[in-house]
Each structure stands twice: as structure tokens, then as C-alpha cells.
């Protein structure tokens, strides 16, 4: 009985590991993942499971165009393991609403079967009145986000697989500065989604410095025959903190002191700016004095600028001066245009 149970668990694990089209997983990679999960099986037994067992009962397809062979499910195949329940379905619907304004359509498309399953489950619950929940759930992002830059699905597949499996990529890239296509061999080191653009961080050819490549400017990407080279000195968090994306961030926090309008004070009472925050009413005023320990970064400063006349920054003085300089520049432009 234990052997039958182990075989069943192995089949279930394999169903979870094999991706839908256009994803692929090679036989050696699948074997390695099974070994990591404690299943002792050799290559021949794995091939027999795939060909003579699972492929007879599931829409499992083998890509034999090159070795090692790669396996995948038909794109429309959906199988929830474990089964989706109502809270899980609502979570997925809410996630879809939130993410579709932040991530490129190709990335969201990778989860479309799960989103579809969630909506289908909710739509089928007519008997208990839950079927309308899918039409009553929305997520509104905080702030204005540009429409994510689109890129090809095959590009995302190649980049994601190369990043996870430590493989080099041969790419054709549309250079924004030169406005022409160039060919590179990239050695992926990280991936960052910033605002509405997704960037691959990689070294190029035989160089050691890290460069950024916007995925929507990658025209073509294929796995390279050259071995992947790791950048031993690269740390993704340090790269971002040290201004890799155009702004510096301090490792230390700073204390923000500001007077805030009543509506903003109410918002910060319910959704604090920091775990270390106080709001004290100002004498003879509806405004309140805010004091909060916040990251000393550009994002916090930009958030303050977006509040306009609803906030009066007192400290840090550098932020106060920056906001005042921006206001003076805007006034100068308006007066000049008049």
C-alpha cells in the first residue's frame, strides 16, 4: 500500500511541476525537482511515467524538436491541486484586479488559468448567492500608474527560465539611445519591475558591469550556447539602494515632522505611514502635527509632494527646501507663460 501511495504522490507532484504552454520543462530538470522532493526515480522510469501513464489521461505534450525533450500541458488545461475554495477564489479575483494595472499583460497571462478558475467557481455558486462576488470585487491602486509596457510572451518565458536556471541569453535589443537593434549575449543577474517597466539586470558579453534591459525592447531572446557567468559582487538590494534606478536611498531612517490637514490625518490614523508614528492636534486648528520615522528615500519625498497643500513639511529641512524649490519653479513657469 505504501508503494501505491508513493506512486500516487509522485504523479500528483509531477502534475504540479509541469507547466502549461508556452512553458516547458525538460526531463532532466523535472527529474532533479522530483529528487529535491524526496522521490527516488531514474530517468527511464520518469519517461515511462510521462509517456505511458500521465500522457494517456491528461493533455500532456512532449516537445521533441530538440533534446532533452521538454514537457508541457495544453494551455487550456486547468487542474486545481489542491481544489480552490471560495476564500481562495475571492483572493485570486482581488489579486487579478490589483495586478493587472501594475504588471505587463504577458506576466498576468501566466496566471490567467488560475484567475479563470476562480471566476468560474464563483460564477457557479448561484444557489447560495455568491455568484455576484466576482462582479463586486475591485482593487484601486494608490496613485496613478502608467499602462505597463507590453512585451512578447516568448521573451518572458526565455528571460524567466534563464534567470531561474542560470543560463545565458542571446538577444536582439532595440537600443533607445541609438534607436537601432543590437545583438548581445546577456548573463541575467536579477529582475526588477519599476513603475510600468520590467527590467532585466545582466552583464553583457565579457564585461563585468551590470546593465539594465527593458523587456519590451528585447526583440528576440534565445538560450545561448555560452556558459552563464555569475557576477559575484552583485547584490540586488545594494544595487537599488545605491541609485541603480536613478535615485539614491539612505540605509538609515529619518524622522518626518509635518503639519497635516484633517482629511490626511484621518487617513494616517487608519493607515499609518510608519509603525512609529504620532498625530497630535494643533492648538486652535483642525490640523495635526505628524511625527513618523520613515525611510530616507525619494519615494517618501515624492509621496509628500503629491499631497500638495494638505501637508506642511517641517523636518527634514532638506525635504522642506526641496518641496519649496519645486513650488517656486512651478510658479515661475506659470508667471512666465502669462
Q: What is the pLDDT along the chain (338 residues), one digit of tens a residue?
A: 356 667 777 887 888 888 877 778 888 999 998 888 888 889 988 988 888 888 888 888 888 888 888 888 887 776 655 555 666 666 677 677 667 666 777 777 767 777 777 777 667 665 545 555 555 566 656 666 666 777 888 888 888 888 878 899 999 998 776 578 889 999 999 888 776 788 889 999 888 889 989 888 999 999 999 999 998 888 888 887 777 775 555 567 889 999 999 999 998 898 888 889 999 999 999 999 999 998 888 778 888 988 888 999 999 999 999 889 888 888 888 776 66
Instruction: For residue 28, give the nearest of 15, 47, 12, 54 by alpha carbon.
Output: 47
* 138/95 Cα distance (integer angstroms): 9
* 17/1 Cα distance (integer angstroms): 24
* 96/86 Cα distance (integer angstroms): 15
Asked if the bond preceding 68 is cis, omega within 30° of 0, the reply is: yes
* 184/234 Cα distance (integer angstroms): 20
Could you count the other beta carbons within 10 Å of the beta carbon of residue 266? 13
How high is the pLDDT of residue 1?
Answer: 38
Percentages of the chain per state (helix, strand, coil), in multiples of 5? 45, 25, 35
* 81/90 Cα distance (integer angstroms): 17
Contact 98, 144 (CB under 8 A): no
The three cell numbers of residue 162 are: 534563464
* 91/115 Cα distance (integer angstroms): 10
Buried b (16+ CB within 10 A) or exposed e, 50-81: beeebeeebebbeeeeeeebbbbbeeebeeee
Contact 159, 191 (CB under 8 A): yes
Report the C-alpha dihedral over residues 176, 180, 181, 183, rounded to 10 degrees: -90
Host H or E run for residue 170: strand 169-175
DSSP string of 244-285, one letter each residue = TTS----SSEEEEEEEE-HHHHHHHHHS-S-SSEEEEEPTTS
* 45/130 Cα distance (integer angstroms): 45
Contact 216, 104 (CB under 8 A): yes
- The C-alpha cell 516537445 sits at 63
Half-sphere exposure of 105 (CA within 13 A, CB side): 6
* 136/101 Cα distance (integer angstroms): 18
* 290/281 Cα distance (integer angstroms): 9
Host H or E run for residue 34: helix 27-36
- Angle, CA of 273, 274 and 280, to the nearest 5°: 75
Bridge partners, residue 223, by sequence: 169
Sheet holding 169-175, edge to edge: 211-214, 197-204, 180-194, 169-175, 218-223
How high is the pLDDT of residue 329?
Answer: 87
Amino acid at each position: 500500500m505504501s508503494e501505491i501511495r508513493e506512486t500516487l504522490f509522485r504523479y500528483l507532484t509531477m502534475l504540479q511541476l509541469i507547466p502549461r504552454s508556452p512553458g516547458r520543462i525538460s526531463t532532466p530538470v523535472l527529474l532533479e525537482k522530483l529528487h529535491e522532493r524526496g522521490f527516488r526515480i531514474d530517468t527511464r522510469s520518469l519517461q515511462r511515467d510521462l509517456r505511458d501513464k500521465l500522457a494517456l489521461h491528461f493533455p500532456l505534450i512532449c516537445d521533441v524538436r530538440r533534446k532533452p525533450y521538454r514537457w508541457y500541458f495544453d494551455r487550456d488545461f486547468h487542474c486545481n491541486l489542491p481544489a480552490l475554495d471560495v476564500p481562495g477564489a475571492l483572493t485570486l479575483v482581488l489579486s487579478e484586479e490589483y495586478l493587472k494595472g501594475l504588471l505587463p499583460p504577458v506576466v498576468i497571462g501566466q496566471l490567467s488559468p488560475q484567475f479563470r478558475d476562480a471566476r468560474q467557481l464563483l460564477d457557479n455558486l448561484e444557489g447560495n448567492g455568491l455568484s455576484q462576488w466576482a462582479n463586486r470585487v475591485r482593487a484601486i491602486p494608490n496613485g496613478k500608474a502608467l499602462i505597463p509596457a507590453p512585451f512578447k510572451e516568448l521573451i518572458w518565458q526565455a528571460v524567466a527560465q534563464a534567470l531561474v536556471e542560470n543560463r545565458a541569453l542571446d538577444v536582439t535589443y532595440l537600443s533607445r539611445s541609438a534607436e537601432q537593434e543590437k545583438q548581445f549575449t546577456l548573463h541575467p543577474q536579477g529582475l526588477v519591475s519599476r513603475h510600468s517597466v520590467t527590467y532585466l539586470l545582466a552583464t553583457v558579453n565579457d564585461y563585468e558591469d551590470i546593465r539594465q534591459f527593458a523587456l519590451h525592447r528585447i526583440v528576440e531572446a534565445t538560450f545561448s550556447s555560452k556558459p552563464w557567468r555569475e557576477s559575484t559582487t552583485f547584490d540586488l538590494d545594494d544595487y537599488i539602494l545605491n541609485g541603480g534606478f536613478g535615485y539614491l536611498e539612505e540605509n538609515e531612517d529619518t524622522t518626518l515632522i509635518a503639519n497635516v490637514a484633517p482629511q490626511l490625518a484621518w487617513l494616517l490614523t487608519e493607515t499609518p505611514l510608519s509603525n512609529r508614528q504620532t498625530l497630535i492636534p494643533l492648538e486652535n486648528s483642525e490640523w495635526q502635527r505628524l511625527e513618523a520615522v520613515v525611510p530616507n528615500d525619494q519615494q517618501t519625498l515624492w509621496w509628500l509632494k503629491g499631497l500638495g497643500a494638505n501637508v506642511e513639511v517641517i523636518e527634514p529641512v532638506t525635504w522642506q527646501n526641496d518641496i519649496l524649490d519645486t513650488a517656486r519653479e512651478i510658479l515661475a513657469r506659470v508667471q512666465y507663460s502669462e
